[in-house]
């Protein structure tokens, strides 16, 4: 099965899962968007009104800013990134997701991460940051890549501000723009290094 097919299968199971805590209040599941073969996975918080309407993550104002920021880093959801959230149904009234809700969707998010197997995960906002870096503080740690073990693999996690926070504060917007600017070079060297390792492993018949 291709990664795309594996993700479609997870999506189907999520749509059928009546135990998902936010399902009854939402219009539809907002699973993810982008290239399943991308080396970069971006994880936000949860769908808002427009995402709930369209079934795609980051299509409202924060999403428009995210697309611009991606473009400045020469990244795009058609090609170099896959985007999802820590919860995949809209919380009522756009409230913050509860820890129990994040845990319920987290089982599926972990499966998605396993399938996509990205070289780097960019967390957007504090909820997805806390999943990987529980002791981190966004105002201190944003933009700083952390290499960590994740289910038997090594991944790089880059905590970033949520684009909605950048829309609310000029200072955060400045930091967000700087972080996206350095993301490009940081991720490029990481992805190049990873594909070299894969090539070497292929030559040695390790993969
Ligand atoms: N904010 C998020 O965290 N995710 C979305 O999909 C949209 C807005």
CA of 125 from ligand 1 middle (Å) equals: 10
Distances (CA, A) of 146 to 16, 73, 129, 160, 182: 35, 19, 11, 12, 14
Q: What is the pLDDT of residues 95-119, one digit of tens each?
A: 999 999 999 999 999 999 999 999 9
Report whether residue 46 contacts ligand 1, using a CB cutoff of 6 Å: yes
Q: What does pTM read for this prediction? A: 0.92
Q: What is the pLDDT of residues 31-65, one digit of tens each?
A: 999 999 999 999 999 999 999 999 999 999 999 99
* β-pair type (153-160, 146-150): antiparallel
Taking alpha carbons only, the member of 56, 54, 57, 53 closest to residue 43 is 57
Number of domains the chain contains: 1
Mutate which of 28, 29, 33, 51 for ligand 1? The one with the most ligand atoms within 8 Å of its CB, which is 51
Q: What is the pLDDT of residues 138-192, one digit of tens each?
A: 999 999 999 999 989 899 999 999 999 999 999 999 999 999 999 887 776 776 7
Taking the CA atoms of 37, 38, 40 and 43 in sequence, report the sign of the dihedral they define. negative
Is 151:114 a contact under the CB 8 Å cutoff? yes
Structural domain that includes position 159? 3-206
CATH number of the domain bearing residue 39: 3.40.470.10
β-bridge partners, 154: 149
């Amino acid at each position: 099965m291709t990664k795309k097919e594996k993700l479609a299968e997870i999506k189907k199971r999520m749509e059928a899962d009546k135990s998902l805590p936010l399902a009854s209040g939402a219009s539809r599941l907002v699973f993810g968007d982008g290239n399943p073969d991308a080396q970069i996975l971006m994880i936000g918080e949860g769908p808002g009104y427009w995402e709930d309407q369209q079934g795609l993550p980051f299509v409202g104002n924060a999403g428009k800013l995210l697309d611009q920021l991606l473009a400045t880093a020469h990244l795009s959801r058609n090609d170099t990134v896959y985007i999802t959230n820590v919860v995949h149904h809209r919380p009522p009234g756009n409230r913050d997701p509860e820890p129990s809700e994040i845990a319920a969707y987290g089982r599926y998010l972990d499966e998605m991460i396993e399938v996509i197997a990205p070289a780097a995960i960019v967390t957007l906002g504090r909820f997805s940051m806390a999943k990987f870096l529980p002791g981190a503080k966004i105002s201190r740690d944003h933009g700083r890549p952390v290499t960590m073990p994740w289910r038997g693999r090594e991944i790089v996690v880059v905590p970033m501000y949520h684009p909605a926070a950048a829309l609310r504060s000029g200072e955060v917007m400045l930091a967000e723009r700087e972080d996206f600017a350095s993301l490009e070079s940081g991720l490029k060297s990481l992805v190049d290094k990873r594909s070299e390792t894969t090539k070497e492993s292929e030559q040695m018949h390790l993969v």
